[in-house]
Amino acid sequence: MSITIAPERPDTPDSMQLIDELEGVLSPLYPDESRHGYSVEKLLKQSVTFFVARQEEAAAGCAGVQFYGTEYAELKRMYVRPDFRGEGIAKKLLNHIADFTRENDIPILRLETGIHQTEAIGLYEKYGFKRVSPFGEYKEDPNSIFFEIALD
């Protein structure tokens, strides 16, 4: 099956549905103060570049990236629908975000994820991300894990 990844505004119907599904997964697992995902409005306001992965025509997953000057970029709103998992879409999204970040001369890609996202944690560690202390505006949180990878 063919997978395509293309930029898409976070306020399109497919993007909003993916973000809503991700919120539905995360909200029962974490208290509000431990949920750092951006709303659609904040994704737009913060100029997050958002991508949707499609298998054939179906929206299968999404990911965004926010640049913090030229110092680093942060992965935002990474999600693959359960029906599309196990097909390498998450890795393709990570590759796409990493390539896009490199193309913009940003040397480091960072992210925050929740402790209950074991599949995501495994993916990030296998990809080469290393655990780090909180960065940017994040604070220590027992429900969060922080990662970064140097982009060569």
- Summarised one tens digit per residue, pLDDT across range 88-145 is 999 999 999 999 999 999 999 999 999 999 999 999 999 999 999 999 999 999 999 9
Q: In what order do the strands lie in the sheet with 58-68?
A: 3-7, 49-55, 58-68, 72-80, 108-114, 144-150, 130-132
Q: Rounded to two decimals, what is the model's pTM?
A: 0.95
Q: Is the pLDDT of residue 7 over 80?
A: yes
